[in-house]
Structure 1
Amino acid sequence: MRQYAAPVLYVTIYTTQFLVTASMGVIFAYLADLQDRFGLSHWELGLVAAAGFIAGLAAQLLLSPLIDRGHHRFVVWLSLAAAVLGAYGFVFAESTWSLVTSRAFAGLAFGLFGLVARKALIGRDVSGSGAKVGGLLSCAVAGFISGPAIGAALSGISFEAPFLFTGTVMALLGPIAAVQISRSPIAAAVVDYSDLADLLRRPRVQAAICVHVGIWGLIGIFDATVDRYLTDIGVSSVELAVGLLIIGVPLMALPPYTGALAERLGGGRVAVPALLLFVPAVLLYGWIGGLLTFILVGLAEAVTESYGVMGAQVLVLEVTGAERAATGTGVLEAVGLTVASVAAFGGPPLYGLIGSRWLFGGWAAVCLVLALLAMWRMKTVEIPPKIVKVSH
């Protein structure tokens, strides 16, 4: 690849990642509107909301080995086609199943584009990947935060306007990223589905999974209960929106730096301490008394989360190398999505049953146990995997 192409690759990938996640984020501001507009029952609305996570999870597990085998061109075009179809689908949807299908396309795009983009950024050597992958996470978080704002800004025009906007912009800019990714050199290897099980047996991957389970479990609980919780303590919707924007800043700004630090010190030496520091922040979520304490606790949690997530990703890349980067990070993210989905499902009824202090305190205890498990797995001697490389 020519020297001037690298900055173009970064800009187009980061921009498209922002758009893909913003498209996913738009719908979160529209769930109640969807229910009223289409007369959806609660279970139908839940099905629409869950379809994106399920599609993303399936895509990561089933297609990540294809990326490592060198089929990144096919996967990137598939992900962008799914992103455009998912956005436009909400414009023309007329039934529950068309909404579910549109949401599934958006989830497919979300699950696949991040994997193939990460593979292209890493290239043929994981050196320097911490900052690159961190930048990708920053753009993803920025997209999620911006999605509801895009929806709110354009909803005055029409219900369909935000989806038309995101779909059209992705249709125009996405192919530029797809061409850049298709031309980028990657490390390809003979990878199949047995590699998924092999990676899950690796102690260092298990340590990274422990960190991800703790963080993504909190994300699932938080997303499903925060609106109800803060409303109960007197925080308005406008204050909540402001608070969420403020606590999202560390996750937008820090990942390139925390990723570089994890690469320099070692993923485990960043991820595991971060999970230990994550515990008191999770515990304090249960004792929020108003907007100010929500912001202070949220900022502390977001900082530790940025170290933990990037440390875990770098830890997995240390095991997989560039050759199995997509498969390894796909497994890690699939576990995270699964845990988040379960936590989101169980969070609201548990909040109503035991209250915020026991709910967040209980998950803080789980995170402490996971941190101790991660420390134990990090002490286990790692046997390097055998990788058959192929020219690409």
Structure 2
Amino acid sequence: VAALTVVLIVAALQMVHIDEVDTVASEPTPALAFDLLGERAVAGAVVLGAAAFLMIGAFDALWDVVHEDLGTPTWMANLGITLFGIPLILLGPFGGRLAQRVGPYSVAGVGLFLAAMFMAIYGQLPTGTWIFAVAMVHAITDGFTFSASGVAVSMAVADERQAGAQGLVGAAQALVGGIAAIVIGAVYDGFGRGTAYTVAAAGMAVLVMIGLALSAPLWRHRDGPGTPRPRLATGVGT
């Protein structure tokens, strides 16, 4: 299930088109990309991306066991996790363009706060059928906003740093997603469904607030003809 979700997300992100802007590197490219975290635009996007995968790690860790404990029909549980990924693919390109037009930090922030709200709601719903229904709405909102953190990173770094920046985001997402799956699973075993989903939602909210605080000057930054990118020490922007 986790592998399927990751594959669907990667496919959605690959469909997002980011307009290329010619840049000239002012400094040699470092072998590692950790220096990019010194830039608020990149650090904020990385934290927002990590918040998204905290959700994925918790969601995947809880989905099967929650539905089993609630007595949800197996076909419904399997169908739900499959359908959840479809909007990420179908709506990903629209979400990417929305992030470019409105501003990726704003779109990511709104989308992740909504996602945290949905995660908290899952812990309070009485049946698996209700969880299935709410998850379908959640999937649609994620489809429009999930790619925004990747768009933010692409807009924030020079072309020659794109690979390193995306790798940095991916590493942060994988790390946070894995930790979330372990921690939230343990919370579920010890304290139950309501607490597990609430802890996941709270963790997401904290990361989103940190990410938005780091990127506060860029909340409304957009990418388009004549729009400069954020200026970074790596030679980005004009």
Rg larger in structure: 1
TM-score of the alignment, normalized to the shorter chain, above 0.5: yes
Question: What TM-score results when the alignment is normalised by the length of structure 2?
Answer: 0.79
Per the alignment, residue 19 of structure 2 pairs with: 127
Per the alignment, residue 346 of structure 1 pairs with: 183
CA contact (8 A) 1:224 1:344 kept: yes
Q: Secondary structure at the match of 1:324?
A: helix
CA contact (8 A) 2:24 2:235 kept: no
CA offset digits 1:351-385 (Å, max 9, x no partner): 11011111111121222222222222122475423
Whole-Å separation in 2 of the counterparts to 1:346 and 1:241: 23
Residues 1:268 and 2:113 aligned together? no
CA offset digits 1:66-123 (Å, max 9, x no partner): xxxxxxxxxxxxxxxxxxxxxxxxxxxxxxxxxxxxxxxxxxxx8xxx79x96xx97x
* Counterpart code for 2:31: Y
CA contact (8 A) 2:37 2:43 kept: yes
Q: Secondary structure at the match of 1:127?
A: coil
Residues 1:204 and 2:204 aligned together? no
Measured on the aligned residues, the alpha-carbon RMSD in Å equals 3.1
Per the alignment, residue 153 of structure 2 pairs with: 316
One of 113, 116, 124 as aligned partner of 1:279: 116
Q: Which residues of structure 1 form unaligned runs of 5+? A: 1-23, 29-52, 54-109, 130-185
Per the alignment, residue 31 of structure 2 pairs with: 193
Question: What TM-score results when the alignment is normalised by the length of structure 1?
Answer: 0.50
Whole-Å separation in 2 of the counterparts to 1:379 and 1:223: 31
Range moving further from structure 2, 359-368 or 252-261 = 359-368
Whole-Å separation in 2 of the counterparts to 1:255 and 1:218: 18
Per the alignment, residue 222 of structure 2 pairs with: none
CA positional deviation for 1:292: 2.8
- The change in CA–CA distance for 1:386 and 1:211 in structure 2 (over 3 A counts) is closer
- The change in CA–CA distance for 1:284 and 1:187 in structure 2 (over 3 A counts) is same
Whole-Å separation in 1 of the counterparts to 2:65 and 2:164: 37
* Counterpart code for 1:347: I
Per the alignment, residue 233 of structure 2 pairs with: 385
CA contact (8 A) 1:247 1:295 kept: no
Whole-Å separation in 2 of the counterparts to 1:331 and 1:285: 31
Residues 1:364 and 2:212 aligned together? no
Whole-Å separation in 1 of the counterparts to 2:126 and 2:20: 42
CA positional deviation for 1:128: 7.0
Whole-Å separation in 2 of the counterparts to 1:299 and 1:205: 31
Residues 1:242 and 2:90 aligned together? no
- The change in CA–CA distance for 1:289 and 1:248 in structure 2 (over 3 A counts) is farther
* Counterpart code for 1:302: A
| Equivalences for residues 1-392 of structure 1 within 5 A | 25=4, 126-127=18-19, 190-194=28-32, 196-380=33-217, 383-387=231-235
CA contact (8 A) 1:216 1:339 kept: yes
Q: Secondary structure at the match of 2:126?
A: coil
- The change in CA–CA distance for 1:246 and 1:199 in structure 2 (over 3 A counts) is same
Q: Secondary structure at the match of 2:159?
A: coil
- The change in CA–CA distance for 1:371 and 1:348 in structure 2 (over 3 A counts) is closer
Whole-Å separation in 2 of the counterparts to 1:218 and 1:324: 27
* Counterpart code for 2:174: L
Q: Secondary structure at the match of 1:289?
A: coil
* Counterpart code for 2:233: P
**Identity in percent:** 24
CA contact (8 A) 2:104 2:148 kept: yes
Higher relative contact order (CA 8 A, sep 6+): 2
Aligned residues: 217
CA offset digits 1:172-215 (Å, max 9, x no partner): xxxxxxxxxxxxxx999653334x12211221222212222222
